[in-house]
A = this chain, B = another copy of it.
């Protein structure tokens, strides 16, 4: 089955996705009957390109990495170069491929999730499917977007948004029928966990942070991480999807970490405990992100470095945890690929949508 893909946002994640897709092209066709073609790419600073016959996305990645524009890849026979992401999405909506998928990988805007939320709206409105590693859409508008998708028999999927492609949502959706998730606890932000474990090992805060930045783990502006916004956005997504809450990252009770965490992390360790930035929520309660001292035998206390984990509290299955012991861009890109496979599998069902969302 043919799938036309439009990539809006072509940063590290989008480019790694394009490469992973190329690496697995044959297997996707042979094993899953999914023949993907990247027909459009819209970037923030390197222009856009569109071509019904499919673009050379690897060439596009190389151009962006050399600081060049991708407009040379645009096919003039397909009309003018798309002006922006919305314009590209409209072109995708006009495609006649059996599957049309927006792959949204713009960066998280913590103020209100835009323009990603509107990108997703525009695609779903045209009956296109959406996969995204951006937390914004599900953190700020999950229920609205999910209902739009449902009404149009389209899928809105975001496996990569919370644990870099480790299948959190797939686990619940595909493997836990009938079970109700009552709450969760998790360590979901790699940068702060990396810093906290460095602090408990005796490193200074500024030094630990600078080292993460040099290693490319923390951003130049680390405030989204250390102020707890990244974890709050993930907590909002999880609360919206798994607990049926209607919250945004701004509803999460949030406290991050700063230089003063060093004393706390070391004091905790002296007591045989561990300081971790914990995200937690339960049905009907306000989600919380805050540094918490955990006993040593708590699964989450044992997570070191960039490891992440999520403990789900369920009715029928008790406490189930899923952990990512090493994270990388490949996993994030893989999550997008897994979502594409879910869309393909759903297309094989007589009823195009599962009863359970997302």
Contacts and interface: CB of A to CB of B under 8 A. Distances in A.
Interface in A291-344: 296-299, 301-304, 307, 309, 311, 316-328, 330-331, 334, 337-338, 341
A319 B311 contact: no
Interface stretch (A24-32, A61-69, A228-236): A24-32
A306 to B, nearest CB: 10
The size bracket of the interface on A is 35 or more
A178 B28 contact: yes
A297 B303 CA distance: 7
Contacts of A311: 325
Nearest to A167: B175
B328 A318 contact: yes
Interface stretch (A104-112, A241-249, A347-355): A347-355
A281 to B, nearest CB: 17
Nearest to A30: B355
A174 interface: yes
Interface centre among A178, A296, A297 (most CB of B within 10 A): A178
A355 B178 CA distance: 25
Contacts of A188: none
A222 interface: no
Contact of A327 (B179, B318, B338): B318
Interface centre among A179, A325, A326 (most CB of B within 10 A): A325
B299 A301 contact: no
Contacts of A24: 178
Contact of A175 (B175, B309, B349): B175
B320 A178 contact: no
A318 B326 contact: yes
Interface string A267-308: 000000000000000000000000000001111011110010
B320 A324 contact: yes
A1 interface: no
A328 B330 CA distance: 36
Given A179-B334, A316-B334, 12 more contacts: A31-B177, A31-B178, A31-B356, A165-B317, A166-B320, A174-B175, A175-B175, A297-B304, A299-B325, A319-B324, A321-B325, A323-B323
18 contacts: A27-B178, A31-B178, A166-B317, A166-B320, A171-B322, A174-B174, A175-B175, A177-B337, A299-B302, A299-B303, A316-B334, A318-B325, A318-B327, A318-B330, A319-B324, A319-B325, A320-B325, A322-B323
